[in-house]
Amino acid sequence: MAATAVLLATGLLAGCGGGGPAGPGAPVEKLRLMVPAKAGGGWHQTAEAVRNVLQRDNLATGTEVFNVAGANGITGLNQLTGERNDKVLMVMGKVMVASVINSKSAKTLKHTTPLARLTSESMALVVPAKSPYTNLQDFLTGWKQDSKGTVVTGGVVADVDHILAGLIADEVGIDPKVVNFLPNQGGGGESVAKLLSGEAKAGISGVSEYAEQVKAGNLRALAVSGERRSKLLPEVKTLKEQGVPISYVNWRGIVGTPDLGDGSRQELVGMLTRLKESAGWQQMLRDKDWEDAFLAGPEFDTYIESESAAAKKVLTEIGLV
């Protein structure tokens, strides 16, 4: 981030695309934010939040959010790696890091240009409101008694929701390989339907994706996965508070096309830095109880590499690769 700050201070931001820059801090025109999944999940929520603040604060103009679902995010990744428009960016995160490993994709995040990590978020373990499980210990007891018959829903196969289910299972004595995980390309949004229909007995997704349904009385939250309780569901205890020594959070960020030039990268990192510093974005973080996890430039490249190594280790340990 220090390098980014120097670039901003010295006014070395260059334009991306065909035209030259209008100057440091000028709005980025005709930005396209790809969501590599169906609408309704955490990636889509993040893209919409970014677009709303960019537009409202005049950091970008004509910004479009579009979805490219398929293959647990890899379809979108493949499309981005062949993209020649510098204004096309992709929302991604910890989920995609794991998905690349699980799918053995030929294209990886090394074939993109990392721009910035934006947020991190705790996940919630929930059950339908009509479930007989009223607390975490009751659910864990029931899960151990019928591990194969207990359907747990969430995002895509081998994503953070699936990994957290495997980590909890392993901790309480359930073989992670027998976890009956029901995936959804649309993440938490689609998993709600599975829970309300009775197709799944429990669900794991971002707190912000389940909070409204919990508050409406349709779902019951049994635990959150971070070090602290969520401000959206303050009465719900963490896993650690309830005797399960696990802390695991998701993060989301933005990457660009593989051949992004230095000038274009500097402009886009500058735009995201101003987004992070804006009052509108800080309010968005509070509203959704997202942690400010901003990290840009070479530091973000290094972080993705470390996350990839960590994801491969945990996926191997719980039998998902």
Average pLDDT, the chain: 91
Give the model confidence (pLDDT) of 119-143 as tens digits. Answer: 999 999 999 999 999 999 999 999 9
Is the confidence at residue 25, as pLDDT, over 80? Answer: no
Q: What is the pLDDT of residues 145-195, one digit of tens each?
A: 999 999 999 998 899 999 999 999 999 999 999 999 999 987 777 899 999
Give 96's pLDDT tier (boundaries 50, 70, 90): very high
What domains, with CATH codes, occur in the chain?
28-120+249-318 (3.40.190.150), 122-242 (3.40.190.10)
Residues contacting 310, CB < 8 A, separation 6+: none
The average pLDDT across 10-24 equals 40
pTM (2 decimals)? 0.86
Least-confidence region, from 10-14, 17-21, 235-239, 291-295: 10-14
Output the 3-class SS for the chain: CHHHHHHHHCCCCCCCCCCCCCCCCCCEECCEEEECCCCCCHHHHHHHHHHHHHHHCCCEECCEEEECCCHHHHHHHHHHHCCCCCCEEEEEEHHHHHHHHHHCCCCCHHHCEEEEEEEEEEEEEEEECCCCCCCHHHHHHHHHHCCCCCEEECCCCCCHHHHHHHHHHHHHCCCHHHCEEECCCCCHHHHHHHHHHCCCCEEEEEHHHHHHHHHCCCEEEEEECCCCCCCCCCCCCECHHHCCCCCCEEEEEEEECCCCCHHHHHHHHHHHHHHHHCHHHHHHHHHHCCEEEEEECHHHHHHHHHHHHHHHHHHHHCCCC
The first and second tokens of residue 131, run together, are 């479930």
